[in-house]
Amino acid sequence: MSVVSGPVRVRFAPSPTGYLHIGGVRTALFNWLFARHYGGQFVLRIEDTDEKRFVDDAAADIMASLRWAGLDWDEGPDIGGPFGPYVQSQRHAEGIYATYSTQLLEAGLAYMSFTTEEELAQMRAAAEAQGIKSFRFRGPERAWPLEQQQEMAARGRPFTIRLKTPLEGETRFQDLVRGGDQIVVQHSQLQDIVLIKASGMPVYHFAHLVDDHLMQITHVMRAEEWVPSTPYHVLLYHAFGWNLPVFAHLPVILRQDGKGKLSKRKDDILTNRFWERGYLPEAMFNYLALQGWSYDDHTELMSRDEIIERFTIERVQPSPARWNPDKLKDLNGLYIRRLTTEQVAERLLPYLTKAGLIADPPTADERAYVVSLTPLIHERLVELSEAPDLLEFFFREPSPGPEGYDPALLVPKKMEAAQTAELLRAAHEALSQVKIWGIEQVEAALRALVARLEVKPGPLFGAIRVAVSGRTVAPPLFEMLVALGRERTLARLERGYTALG
RNA sequence: GCCCCCAUAGUCUAGCGGCCUAGGACGUCACCCUUUCAAGGUGAAGAUCGCGGGUUCGAAUCCCGCUGGGGGUACCA
């Protein structure tokens, strides 16, 4: 029997204070999978109540990142929906939060607090100086009648609205990911948190909760870092007399070194970087699904549809996972190899264009050429962005010397330069006589040369490889020569032995 | 400091009282294939299931303590 019954409405509610990192995508992904698996709705809501850290293009970037990862939403800022608007600053402008904070004020469950930030900072410092272990703020106004609070406000004193947290007792709540036991927090550990800032803008604790209620969110799936503040949320639901959503706190993704959670400030884990670096969204999707969720004891490679079908909250585990780029790379390579030549070629074009190897947009000839080159590197690719480097010598002439590659690379181990030059000259001679420039013919000619000169294939092929590509590591030789064409092959061999004197 | 959460190899994980002499994957190493590099194939090393107590005929699995790690402690989210 499933632990989930009834309708399902979940949301992903990022704040546009920075670009999306993969931890954020994972949270979005799990919400999305949950909605898709149980046939519910996935809502995107922008929580832009942080006026200080607001980043102008962050919301657009976040949405682009989600789309890249293959996530779509049923309701959101760009497409609207029955519970709009889906941007908190707009909802604030409509007076939604003020309506509800007033309700709490009138019920005596919240109060206007006239203590300023500066005063609060001083109080905290003073407490610390006195060796007081933990400072929990409860404003003196919690005892005031509402009229007195309003009088102060009328006199122009700036105020925040704080939750009047109970002094005694405890709050408990259940978490779907942690199952079993309830999480219990003593009220003595709480303080009177700010609900509405002096600017009139609500804080997360208040805004998200009002919106979750109004948008009829049934399951709140968010990162584990929210567990400690959940008691405040439970208290608020009770204050309003609203039904609680089901909580499911997802394990955080730890940094690669295990020291702390992923941060937006570290740009190597920003989602938009993964497109640039040549990651396939389907590989990222698969990788992220496996961060905190598993299907069984051996299945890892799964399509989007398979994951949707198999995803259940029961199989989400509570312990944090560590960011593992090696694993992602492995999956990416696996996914690249599963694509057809044409599909890979198509995905390679933007990277080649960006590197300036082909035109923007690519011509028909360039496209065809890239399709013909793709098999040479297809199974060698781990990141699509490696393609320009691997294919560069097909588009630009490598030359021995200070401007190009080191001529010493031409000379195989245990061999002299003059000897190598002879080898390359012989190869030039042999290849210039090949009638049909095909893989079999080129191979036959070079194998015959190996036999005739009584040399090992390794050193000879190695010298040719360098002469033709300017590097010691390259795609298979015969395929490479054929893709290069007779003219360019011969010209490069000649330049090779000329450089060796 | 205080509060909360978590705990199986370097990493991600399977395991939800006997199928475990702990399974899979990444990474590492070796060998095979081979013109380089990959890919692929075969195999290996790597976990006293963090430690200590219980409960039970029997514990990686349940309970308690400790330790370690992580998170929170803002008029940030």
Rounded-to-integer distance, Cα A488 and Cα A384, Å: 26
Please give the Cα distance from A202 to A50 (Å, whole number).
Answer: 9
**pLDDT, position A110:** 97
A337 CB below 7 A from strand B atoms: yes
Q: Which residues in chain A land under pLDDT 50?
A: 1
Q: Report pLDDT for A501.
A: 74
A229 touches strand B (CB under 7 A): yes
Angle between helical axes of A325-338 and A281-289 (0-180°, round to 10): 130
Q: Does at least one atom of strand B sit less than 7 Å from the CB of A56?
A: no
pLDDT tens-digit readout, A225-239: 999 999 999 999 999
> In this structure, is the CB of residue A54 within 7 Å of any atom belonging to strand B?
no
- Spell out which residues of A between 446 and 475 contact strand B, using CB within 7 Å: 457-458, 461-462, 465, 472-475
Cβ–Cβ < 8 Å for A171, A242: no
Span CA (A374) to C1' (B56), Å: 63
Numbered residues of the known binding site of A for ATP? 264
φ, ψ (nearest 5 deg) of residue A314 = -60, -30
Which of chain B's bases lie under 7 Å from a protein CB? 1-8, 10-16, 23-27, 35-40, 63, 69-77
Q: What residues have CB less than 8 Å from A1, skipping those under 6 apart?
A: none
A263 touches strand B (CB under 7 A): no
A 352-381, residues with C-beta < 7 Å of strand B: 379-380
Which helix H or strand E contains A354, and what residues bound it?
Answer: helix A341-354
Distance between alpha carbon A351 and the CA centroid of its chain, in Å?
19
Q: For residue A460, which amino acid is it? A: L
CA A491 to chain centre: 46
Contact in structure between A247 and A175 (CB atoms under 8 Å): yes
Q: Rounded mean pLDDT of chain A?
A: 93
Å from the A297 CA to the B20 C1': 14
Residue with tokens 């700010």: A194
Residue A173 CB in 7 A reach of strand B: no
And the tokens for A488?
């360019």
Instruction: Name the nucleotide with the smallest C1'–CA separation from A179.
Output: B16
CA torsion sign, A235 to A239 to A240 to A244? Answer: positive
Distance A451 CA to B32 C1' (A): 25
The pLDDT value given to residue A96 = 97
Selection from A58, A53, A57, A47 nearest residue A87 by Cα: A47
Q: Which helix (H) or strand (E) holds A350?
A: helix A341-354
Please provide the DSSP assignment of A425-491 as one string: HHHHHHHHT-SS-SHHHHHHHHHHHHHHHT--HHHHHHHHHHHHHSSSS-S-HHHHHHHH-HHHHHH
Query: pTM value?
Result: 0.94
∠ CA A492-A416-A469, nearest 5°, is: 25
3-state secondary structure A51-101: CCCCCCCHHHHHHHHHHHCCCCCCEECCCECCCCCCEHHHHHHCCHHHHHH
Closest nucleotide relative to residue A257's CA, C1' based = B11
Residue ranges in A107-186 assigned as alpha helix (H): 117-129, 146-154
C-alpha to C-alpha distance for A151 and A145, rounded to whole angstroms = 10
Give per-residue pLDDT as tens, A92-120: 999 999 999 999 999 999 999 999 999 99
Annotated binding site of A: 264
Contacts of A214 (CB under 8 A, 6+ apart): A83, A96
pLDDT on residue A64: 95
What is the secondary structure of A193-213 as a DSSP string? -EEE-TTSPBPHHHHHHHHHH
Determine the nucleotide nearest to A51 by Cα–C1' distance: B76
Minimum-distance nucleotide, CA of A196 to C1' = B75
A478 CB contact with strand B at below 7 Å: yes
Burial bucket for residue A127 (CB in 10 Å: 0-12, 13-18, 19+): middle
Question: For position A411, what pLDDT does the model report?
Answer: 87
Task: Pick the catalytic residue from A133, A164, A197, A264.
Answer: A264
Instruction: Round to whole Å and give the CA distance between A390 and A252.
Output: 37
Respond yes or no: is residue A329 known to be catalytic: no
Q: From the Cβ of A89, is strand B under 7 Å away?
A: no
Q: Count Cβ atoms below 10 Å from residue A111 Cβ, excluding itself.
A: 27
| Strands A160-163 and A110-113, bridge-based pairing | antiparallel
> What pLDDT, on a 0 to 100 scale, did the predictor assign at position A404?
85
Q: Other CB atoms closer than 10 Å to residue A430's CB: what's the count?
A: 19
CA distances from A198 to A114, A202, A408 (A): 9, 9, 71
